Structure 1
């Protein structure tokens, strides 16, 4: 069962790039769950104009779709780096990303 991701992937990457707490393990806010949740809400609201007016169930559904796509993009990127570098370490990959 495949789902169609209705948002632009490049725009998603750019939106997340502007929120270091979602991807930069060296950022102070990376471990702050409240800050991360706020950042995810901001990203979701960017893609869905009426996101904050939707009920919690619909917000959760949208959030899961966006987070899931981000995880897929991130995991695919890391996997491709490992193939290129011959099993690069996670620390080296994080350095390459930032």
Structure 2
């Protein structure tokens, strides 16, 4: 990976907390892979504005889940 991402932990936590599908296992949607993938994609987009343009390999190398 050429570029290292520096992520503010407080921002990351807030982004995940705002998406219960990522952490609340009492929700039926928690088990839905599409919903969780979409939520992780949203988190990634907010952390890195270039995320949409990245190649799949780059996304995986940056530690993202989409």
Q: Work out the CA distance in 2 between the residues paired with 1:33 and 1:57.
A: 20
Take 1:46 and 1:29, find their aligned partners in 2: how far apart are those partners?
Answer: 22
Q: 4+ runs of 1 displaced by more than 2 Å? A: none
Does structure 2 retain, via aligned residues, the 8 Å contact 1:15–1:43? Answer: yes
Supply the distance in 1 between the matched residues of 2:37 and 2:43 (Cα, whole angstroms). Answer: 10
Q: Higher relative contact order at CA 8 Å, sep ≥6: structure 1 or structure 2?
A: 2
Question: Which digits, 9 at most, give the CA deviation of each residue in 1:45-87, with x for residues without a partner?
Answer: 11000101110001112206xxxxxxxxxxxxxxxxxxxxxxx
**RMSD in angstroms over aligned alpha carbons?**
1.6
- Unmatched 5+ stretches in structure 2: none
Q: Taking structure 1 as the reference length, what is the TM-score of the superposition?
A: 0.58
Distance (whole Å) between structure 2 residues aligned to residue 8 and residue 48 of structure 1 = 12
How many residue pairs were aligned? Answer: 61
In structure 1, stretches of 5+ residues that fail to align are 65-98
Q: TM-score, normalised by structure 2?
A: 0.83
Shift of residue 28 of structure 1?
Answer: 2.1
Which residue of 1 is the match for residue 31 of structure 2? Answer: 31
Q: Does 2:28 align with 1:20?
A: no
